[in-house]
Chain A
């Protein structure tokens, strides 16, 4: 659990974080979203004490982080940044081993852990372990960055616009990886983004920052259904917010199990906007749903979309 209690921070008299109070639960995937200069990155860097607050308290599992040694604290928190920052003079394996080495793990355990993590981020250990960062693509580099952050098995992962510099296709792939890795590891993840689509897609909780203030702290559905103010309404796209939701939710999340429909089926892993488009295109108001192996899962209809949409 990570708790901000009345946290304040200003730079040169300008408030970067103004009286922020919110809690992120353990195992939650939490997104900090907002425009540039809204304070979301500052909030993240307060957690690993790269920035010291002017006032207020930040707690991790009831420990006031101000009382912890910052170097030891950082070794317990995974950290991923937009510019990746792999050490160019070290191999991929050595980069992944950074924090275990800082913590003095035995060599054999480190070697094992390197392969385990490269496998987790879907880089073949035998192929990539001894490569140098400059021999990798941007997306591969950020996979290594992610493996490095997870190396010492931290409970919490801090990610500062990790996919902001990647092309759209790579970003999409890595977003899927994050969903998979979060499900597999159960880490508490704090991720900063200025991309509302990314926030809605990945986040179980979204904290919206506007000029240093937390203006809304909600699940993606709540955010889309009940924006707290005009700023958040504009951020989620006004009336188009419900279409945005269809783009991120999958058929399996909203289907009627046991329901029936005629016609060609839709896969349960398709996005709901695809389902809607297919209904509009085929003139049918419901589609049968099947899983990957073709087994019937139920049906999804226009009524389901209307009922569940915020």
Chain B
């Protein structure tokens, strides 16, 4: 089956093109930021050191990605598990509580989570991961619940009547059919956390937020721009990669499901 092409929508070729272009730009910036010194010097002639150099942008980016990944793995496992649990007959009564807990996690400002986490786990990467987990779990839980509840009742009725065990229903029918919705939740969570991870630098984590925060405190607008552009590009590339995964999943699970 070939991809349906809807006018105005990205064709697969164009989609790959966008991802590739954003990715190349990101890699070039990360590797060769110091080469832009003349540009930033021209833009901000008053600054003595117009390119952030306390750590290389490669180091910052790898740490940034590492922190988001470290948070995403528990977010995905716990988020899907929690969503599956409250959609079981035995877990239904916990749906309200779970909703409240994840909503608190999301509405609590990440800066406040950081402030609370530091006395418990110290400075650096750990409190950042704690904040990212708290902040990123809601979309995964919500979308897992919505995805499973959206599975065709006819398919579930047939599965039940044909003698599926509860586990077979979950792994053969519910999770595959809910996969596009669940992945959309993971996508939201990861994109939010790529942005949120930057504030980890306020408690000593090395992230792409480091130049931003140093730039803000030292009135170095060039640092702020450098950090912000790389974070933004990283978010765009990641989002486009998720778009590719989504297109694949939706070929397997038709929209009618």
Binding site for B on A (CB under 8 A): 48, 50, 70-75, 79, 81, 83-89, 98-99, 102, 132, 134, 145, 148-149, 158
Contact = CB atoms under 8 A, between A and B. Distances in A.
B162 A98 contact: yes
A38 to B, nearest CB: 20
Given A132-B254, A134-B254, A134-B256, A87 B173 contact: yes
A145 B159 CA distance: 12
Contacts of A73: 163
Given A79-B162, A88-B177, A88-B256, A102 B157 contact: no
A140 to B, nearest CB: 15
B256 A86 contact: no
A75 B253 contact: no
A180 B33 CA distance: 76
Contacts of A85: 152, 154-159
Nearest to B177: A89
B165 interface: yes
A11 B48 CA distance: 81
Contacts of B93: none
Contacts of A71: 163-165
Q: What are the nearest 9 A-B pairs in CB distance?
A: A85-B158, A74-B163, A83-B154, A85-B154, A75-B163, A79-B161, A88-B257, A134-B254, A71-B163
12 contacts: A48-B161, A74-B162, A79-B158, A83-B157, A88-B253, A88-B257, A89-B252, A89-B254, A102-B168, A132-B1, A145-B158, A148-B162
> Interface range on chain B: under 10, 10 to 19, 20 to 34, or 35 or more?
20 to 34
B155 A99 contact: no
B155 A87 contact: yes
Contacts of A88: 152, 155, 177, 253-254, 256-257
Interface string B141-158: 000000000001111111
Contacts of A84: 154, 158
A81 B154 contact: yes
Nearest to B257: A88
A81 to B, nearest CB: 6
Contacts of B155: 85-88
Nearest to B164: A102
Residue of A72, A73, A79 with most partner-chain B CB within 10 A: A79
B215 interface: no
A10 B50 CA distance: 79
B176 interface: yes
Contacts of A99: 162-163
A62 B168 CA distance: 30
A50 B160 contact: yes
A238 B211 CA distance: 89
A145 B162 CA distance: 11
